[in-house]
């Protein structure tokens, strides 16, 4: 290849082959590289303006799939929110009215996090809105869940109190309901034994001697034994809530003073001890020390059969208790 190049030396008018010194070659090479790098940068600059590099493409794909994960997470958070909302509904509509509790103000249930930018450290990121909103929602849900948890704990306490009260109220008949009711609460023109008019503070049940007498509510036996005031052998149960029940004229007492009894526990057998003209049970309820109408504390809506079923259920640690 006759690729050699020549030049006309004007000094001696001869054609001479073009030769470069080593330094010049080096310089050329350097210039060539520098030029090509500059060109590369130019190319890259132009390319980048219109397209993304393969690497960026891959990275962007990754970001997109992460964003998808976030979207899924947000859907899950929606579900949590729904669950919490239905719990709140239970709380506000079902439980609180029954337990006569005030509802929790909205400002406590949903305090909000306005004002302070709690996630300002995320500000420098491209997807800051996504990141911040997700974090914020979690914070919000956590808060709602916490409030709900506390609310449920309070409700649980209240339910237990409620159940406790229901169990303690003297709310059943102390004897088989098939027996006839005797004299009730009120003024008696002629006392059967004393013979003169006197206030009768209890409810009498005409029952034969030896009839089983049951505690009408949970409580503590505060008196058990002879009563010189006329009740004869008697039992007094303190039910709390200012209520005591008195069972008088018993022939036999089955519970000592100081023990706790449950509704339906056998506490004694009826008789005619004390100021009594014949076998009967004197059943009296005192509220804060004053006698009240005992018949207002139980219903006449239960058959003999049901009564014994009930007594049996109370005694058997029934599942229903």
Enter the DSSP assignment of 280: B
- Give the footprint of other proteins on residues 113-152 (CB under 8 A): 122, 125-127, 131, 134-135, 138, 141-142, 145, 148-149, 152
- Give the footprint of other proteins on residues 172-211 (CB under 8 A): 172
Among 100, 107, 228, 290, binds other proteins (CB under 8 A): 100
Classified as helix, coil or strand, 177 is coil
From CA 318, how far away is CA 262, in angstroms rounded? Answer: 13
Residue 3 C-beta: closest distance to other proteins, Å: 8
Instruction: Give the residue carrying structure tokens 């206030």.
Output: 199
Residue 85 C-beta: closest distance to other proteins, Å: 8
Among 13, 75, 116, 320, binds other proteins (CB under 8 A): 320
Nearer to other proteins, 165 or 238 (CB): 165
Give 300: exposed, middle or buried? Use CB within 10 Å, 0-12, 13-18, 19+. Answer: exposed
CB hemisphere CA count around 172 (13 angstroms): 26
* Number of neighbours of residue 276 by Cβ within 10 angstroms: 19
Nearer to other proteins, 6 or 226 (CB): 6
Nearer to other proteins, 3 or 190 (CB): 3
Check the CA dihedral 239-242-246-252 and report its sign.
Answer: positive
From CA 240, how far away is CA 5, in angstroms rounded? Answer: 123
258 phi/psi in degrees, rounded to 5: 95, -15
Residue 16 C-beta: closest distance to other proteins, Å: 10
- Residue 296 binds other proteins (CB under 8 A): yes
Task: Take residue 256 and report the two structure tokens written for it.
Answer: 């000592």
Site string for other proteins, 156-175 (x = CB under 8 A): x--x--xx--x--x-xx---
Asked if 281 and 177 count as a contact pair (C-beta separation under 8 A), the reply is no
Nearer to other proteins, 131 or 272 (CB): 131
- Residue 262 binds other proteins (CB under 8 A): no
- Give the footprint of other proteins on residues 24-83 (CB under 8 A): 36-37, 39-40, 43-44, 48, 53, 55-56, 59-60, 62-63, 66-67, 69-70, 73, 76-77, 79-80, 82-83
- Give the footprint of other proteins on residues 229-258 (CB under 8 A): none
Among 27, 31, 34, 98, binds other proteins (CB under 8 A): 98
From CA 280, how far away is CA 230, in angstroms rounded? Answer: 13
Task: Take residue 179 and report the two structure tokens written for it.
Answer: 């027996």
Nearer to other proteins, 28 or 226 (CB): 28
Please identify, among the stretches 178-186, 225-233, 252-260, 304-312, the one whose residues bind other proteins according to the rule CB under 8 A.
Answer: 304-312
Residue 278 C-beta: closest distance to other proteins, Å: 28
Nearer to other proteins, 56 or 117 (CB): 56
Asked if 206 and 179 count as a contact pair (C-beta separation under 8 A), the reply is yes
Check the CA dihedral 76-80-83-86 and report its sign.
Answer: negative
Q: Helical H runs in 169-258? A: none
């Amino acid at each position: 290849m006759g690729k050699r190049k020549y030049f006309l030396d004007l000094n001696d008018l001869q054609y001479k082959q073009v030769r470069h010194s080593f330094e010049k070659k080096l310089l050329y090479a350097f210039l060539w590289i520098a030029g090509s790098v500059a060109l590369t940068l130019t190319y890259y600059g132009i390319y980048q303006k219109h397209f993304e590099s393969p690497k960026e493409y891959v990275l962007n794909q990754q970001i997109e799939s992460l964003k998808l994960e976030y979207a899924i997470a947000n859907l899950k958070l929606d579900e949590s929110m729904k669950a919490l909302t239905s719990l709140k509904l239970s709380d506000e509509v079902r439980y609180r009215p029954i337990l006569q509790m005030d509802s929790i103000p909205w400002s406590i249930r949903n305090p909000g996090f306005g004002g302070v930018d709690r996630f300002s450290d995320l500000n420098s990121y491209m997807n800051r809105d996504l990141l911040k909103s997700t974090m914020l929602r979690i914070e919000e849900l956590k808060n709602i869940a916490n409030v709900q948890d506390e609310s449920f704990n309070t409700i649980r306490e209240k339910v237990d109190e409620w159940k406790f009260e229901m169990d303690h109220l003297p709310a059943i008949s102390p004897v088989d309901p098939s027996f006839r009711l005797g004299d009730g609460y009120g003024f008696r023109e002629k006392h059967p034994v004393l013979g003169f008019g006197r206030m009768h503070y209890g409810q009498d049940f005409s029952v034969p001697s030896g009839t089983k007498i049951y505690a009408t509510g949970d409580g503590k036996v505060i008196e058990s034994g002879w009563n010189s005031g006329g009740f004869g052998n008697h039992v007094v149960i303190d039910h709390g809530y200012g209520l005591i029940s008195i069972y008088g004229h018993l022939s036999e007492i089955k519970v000592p003073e100081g023990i706790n009894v449950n509704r339906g526990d056998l506490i004694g057998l009826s008789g005619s001890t004390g100021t009594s003209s014949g076998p009967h049970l004197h059943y009296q309820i005192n509220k804060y020390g004053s006698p009240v109408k005992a018949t207002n504390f139980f219903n006449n809506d239960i058959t003999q059969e049901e009564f014994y079923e009930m007594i049996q259920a109370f005694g058997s640690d029934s599942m229903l208790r």
